[in-house]
Amino acid sequence: AASKLEVFMPAVVEVESEGTARIECDFDIPGNGSYTYINWFYIDRSNRVKLCHITGSEVLEENTDYKGRLVVGEDKALSISKVTVQDARTFVCQVGAGPHGVGENRTELRIYKVPEAPEITPNPTGISVQSSDIPQIARCVSRNSFPPPNITWHKNGEQLQPEENKVKIPHTLTRESSGLYTVSSSLFAHVTRDDRHSRYHCAVHYWLRGQRHHLESQRVNVTVFYPAEHVKLEVMPSSALVKEGDNVKLVCEADGNPAPVFSFYKRELEDNWQDLTSLADTNSGVLNLHDVNKSSSGLYRCQTLDLDDMRQMEKDVELVVNYIEGVRVKMEPSSPLQEGDSVKLSCDAHSPVALDYQWRDEKGRKVAEGNQLLLSNLTFETSSNFSCKVMAPSVPGLEQSKQVAVAVQGKPRIVAISSPLYVRQDEVVNLTCKAIAFPRPSVHWNVNGTAHEYVENQHVASNLTVRVSHDLLRAGAMCRVSNALGVSEKHIQLLDQKTSESKGVIIVAIIVCILVVAVLGSVIYFLHKKGKIPCGRTGKQDITKPEARKDKIVVEVKSDKVSEEAGLLRGTDGERRPAANQ
């Protein structure tokens, strides 16, 4: 048992704003006695303000700011609902126990509000590495916290500390009308060009139930301005692959920020430089050269100007435009070619790179490789246009072609006529004569008609529309083809189609008769061999089977041939000879 009245209370109670605070009050009375009364107070500026008076089961609440928010439990614990930061004060529980006197104890009520996540705002205008003053990197703000937290700054994950003439971190604390705090902080620090990749963030730190907590902002970059240290000038595409007709870009890059102003020049004779800046985009550092040619080759220069410190830098690059020129084809011999001759074609060209040669015919088919083409035993049909295709294997797409005509000369050669031609008298027919020759020949007919000529390569064809007369049918027509080197002619034979048809009918009839006699003779010979036609008998012959087969089919063969032959063998006196004497 207790020797005197003792009151027990927690030293500290922590509750989040808008929550319910419960403050317990336990006591021991000597001899297990009972209390007479309990009073609850709060301390306001060293003064006690009574909240309520408890006797037995009766609770008398005083008229204070807590009225309506207080609840006393059966264990005499005091509960305060909807606490605010203004409720952060000391509360006293006083217990009266008659002859055992009065005892009391107190609890400090602490109200906390977790701060909002910090918001970070980087410097919007950018920072120069050449700034003489310590520039502001970013600003950080955290709102609605209690008690007030503190803010720290971090760069690439490492916490920053104030450093004289290098790093400054001022703070500002503001108490709002709600009693909550807004804390803000700014980071001032010098930067280098490496800080263009740095990541900054801030963190707000607060205590809760005896433990330290923190919230972090997002990580941000800041724009850092620094002069260029290196300049690079490149040809796009690669200079080794540029050919005549290409569009080329000269791209100039500097590693400063912001990018400097770019100027472009091309070296001319006597070390003079032609200004090409008007053709370039001075902001992006790109010079566009369209449809380049051999004269576009040369030394180009990019010059940069930093407007911050007026510093100049420059870089040169050599542009090589690959080309093929002077493509020519030589033919040996160069004199006119005749059928049966041979000719050698040679192709040559100039280029700063190695070249390959191909020969193709007029249909585009490859006929040979190398810079020479040998054609042997020429004919009119060999006459054609050949092309020499010159290519640069190291420069894709760089190629040129040159054509040469191989013309074989000679007198005309008639290659086709419509002979023989079957016609009818008075019929209108087409007579055709086709020849090949070079130079181009002319075609003449020895008969009158309407002629149409068609020319294809070395061939010439003439169609003569004519009515067939008796004389034309008898004599035929003559096609005569001539050029400066000679004459060729051929006769076209006309045949009467009626005569041909009559002869054809007679021939067909003779063939049919021969076939009929041959078949009939074969049948008679077959029957005679089988014993079906006995020699020297007339009339009809019954052919029967053995006795046991009488019920089977009986085949009867009648021969009228004997009587016919007998009639043919009568004498001149009209008497008939016996068949046996035939």
pLDDT band per the 50, 70, 90 thresholds, residue 526: confident
pLDDT over threshold 50, residue 578: no
Q: What average pLDDT does range 516-527 have in this prediction? A: 80
Half-sphere exposure for 205 (CA within 13 Å, toward CB): 7
For residue 339, what pLDDT is reported? 83
Q: How are beta strands 119-122 and 26-28 bridged, if at all? A: unpaired
Token readout for 122 is 């980087």
For residue 549, what pLDDT is reported? 35
For residue 533, what pLDDT is reported? 54
pLDDT over threshold 50, residue 547: no
Q: What is the pLDDT of residues 435-493, one digit of tens each?
A: 998 888 999 999 998 999 988 877 899 999 999 998 888 888 999 999 988 999 999 99
Cβ neighbours of residue 227 closer than 8 Å, sequence gap 6 or more: 130, 256, 306, 308, 309, 311
Q: How are beta strands 428-438 and 158-160 bridged, if at all? A: unpaired
How far is the C-alpha of 265 from the C-alpha of 554, rounded, in Å?
Answer: 124
For residue 443, what pLDDT is reported? 93
Q: What is the pLDDT of residues 205-214, one digit of tens each?
A: 998 877 899 9
For residue 579, what pLDDT is reported? 37
Length of the chain: 582
How far is the C-alpha of 518 from the C-alpha of 510, rounded, in Å?
Answer: 12
Between 513 and 108, residue with greater pLDDT? 108
pLDDT band per the 50, 70, 90 thresholds, residue 500: low
Residue 278, classed as helix, strand or coil, is helix
Between 149 and 574, residue with greater pLDDT? 149
pLDDT over threshold 80, residue 98: yes
Q: How are beta strands 325-332 and 280-281 bridged, if at all? A: unpaired
- How far is residue 486 CA from its own chain's centroid? 64
Average the pLDDT over each of 129-138, 254-263, 335-344 and give the range with the smallest value: 335-344
Q: What average pLDDT does range 15-21 have in this prediction? A: 91
Between 283 and 462, residue with greater pLDDT? 462
Token pair 């009391």 in the structure block, residue: 104
Taking the alpha carbons at both ends of the chain, their separation in whole angstroms is 178
CATH number of 116-225: 2.60.40.10
CB 200 within 8 A of CB 232: no
Same fold? 6-112, 231-319: yes
For residue 99, what pLDDT is reported? 87
Share of the chain above pLDDT 70, in %: 89
Q: Please, what is the Cα angle at 24 between 19 and 29, to 5 degrees?
A: 170
Q: What is the pLDDT of residues 222-253, one digit of tens each?
A: 999 999 999 999 998 776 689 999 999 999 99
DSSP string computed for 349-410 = EE-SS--EEEEE-TTS-EEEESSEEEE-S--GGG-EEEEEEEE-TTSTT-EEEEEEEE-EEE
For residue 8, what pLDDT is reported? 95
Average the pLDDT over each of 47-56, 98-107, 404-413 and give the range with the smallest value: 404-413
Residue 511, classed as helix, strand or coil, is helix
Residue 251 CA: distances (Å) to CA of 242, 314, 320: 15, 13, 15
Domain 231-319 has CATH 3.40.50.1220: no
Between 517 and 264, residue with greater pLDDT? 264
Q: What is the pLDDT of residues 356-394, one digit of tens each?
A: 999 998 888 999 999 999 999 888 877 678 999 999 999
For residue 523, what pLDDT is reported? 79
Does this model's pTM top 0.85?
no
CATH number of 411-496: 2.60.40.10
Q: How are beta strands 224-225 and 127-128 bridged, if at all? A: parallel
Domain residue spans of the chain: 6-112, 116-225, 231-319, 325-406, 411-496
Share of the chain above pLDDT 90, in %: 56
Specify the fold of 325-406. Immunoglobulin-like (2.60.40)
pLDDT over threshold 50, residue 169: yes
For residue 209, what pLDDT is reported? 77
For residue 534, what pLDDT is reported? 53
For residue 308, what pLDDT is reported? 78
How far is the C-alpha of 96 from the C-alpha of 39, rounded, in Å?
Answer: 8
For residue 503, what pLDDT is reported? 55
CATH number of 6-112: 2.60.40.10
